[in-house]
């Protein structure tokens, strides 16, 4: 996953392999569906800043509103900031499953999905660039006698939407981070 430094390449959201140190790796090894998206920011971005930007973006606020209405899981920007600073173990429909200095792994209240964020400084970049990752894991509904994972109809029906929505969430976080850099 080498980065290129053209304006278009630095703003692109790409898919790639999970980094070996990713907290999401356990799910990949256990046969869950996992994905990994990343984008490079042309400045230093702390993990707390990334988490805060991701969960307070206008797009994610729509998801938070839906979760409050239909799942009874309300949340606020201040709750997102507490999560980002390591002062909260729950946020909206998620609870913290794992945390490291540069990563956060959340589990949804049903225990079926995981959301993962990671921020890594790019050593090869000409400036203080940061690679920002977002990934998901979906735990299988069941397994066949041969051990093959079965994810169910909803997983397959929503897969295309998930890919588009993930990229949209990352673009929204990038916009939030660009706005805080100018403030």
Residues whose CB is less than 8 angstroms from the CB of residue 54 and which lie 6 or more positions away in sequence, other chains included = 60, 117, 134, 169, 172, 173, 176
pLDDT band at 1 (very low <50, low <70, confident <90, very high): very low
Cβ–Cβ < 8 Å for 101, 116: no
Q: Which helix (H) or strand (E) holds 38?
A: strand 33-41
Give 13-68 pLDDT, tens digit per residue: 999 999 999 999 999 998 899 999 999 999 999 999 999 999 999 999 999 999 99
Burial class (CB in 10 A: 0-12, 13-18, 19+), 40: buried
When mean pLDDT is compared across 99-103, 158-162, 171-175, the lowest value belongs to 158-162
Separation between Cα atoms, residue 77 and residue 70, nearest integer Å: 19
Query: What domains are there in the chain, each with its CATH number?
Result: 7-176 (3.30.530)
Spatial distance between the Cα atoms of 129 and 98, rounded to a whole number of angstroms:
25
% pLDDT > 90, the chain? 74
Rounded to two decimals, the pTM is 0.88
As given in the structure block, the two tokens for residue 55 are: 């969960």
Q: For 105-161, what is each residue's pLDDT tens digit?
A: 999 999 999 999 999 999 776 678 999 999 999 988 767 777 777 777 777 778 889
Instruction: Look up residue 141 and give its two tokens.
Output: 């509904």
Q: Considering only CA atoms, which of 37, 17, 27 is closest in space to residue 149? A: 27
Average pLDDT, the chain: 89
Q: Which residues pair with 130 in a beta bridge?
A: 41, 121
């Amino acid at each position: 996953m080498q980065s290129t430094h053209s304006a278009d390449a630095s703003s692109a959201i790409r898919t790639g392999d999970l980094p070996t140190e990713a907290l999401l790796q356990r799910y990949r090894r256990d046969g869950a569906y996992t994905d990994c998206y990343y984008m490079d920011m042309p400045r230093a971005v702390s993990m707390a800043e990334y988490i805060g930007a991701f969960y307070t973006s206008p797009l994610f606020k729509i998801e938070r509103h839906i979760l409050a209405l239909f799942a009874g899981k309300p949340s606020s920007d201040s709750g997102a900031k507490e999560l980002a600073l390591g002062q909260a173990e729950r946020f909206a429909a998620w609870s913290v499953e794992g945390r490291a200095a540069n990563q956060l792994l959340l589990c949804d209240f049903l225990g079926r999905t995981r959301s993962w964020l990671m921020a890594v400084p790019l050593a090869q970049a000409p400036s203080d660039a940061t690679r920002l990752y977002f990934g998901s894991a979906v735990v299988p509904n069941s397994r066949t006698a041969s051990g093959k994972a079965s994810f169910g109809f909803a997983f397959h029906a929503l897969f295309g939407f998930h890919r588009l929505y993930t990229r949209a969430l990352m673009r929204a976080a990038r916009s939030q981070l660009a706005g805080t850099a100018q403030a």
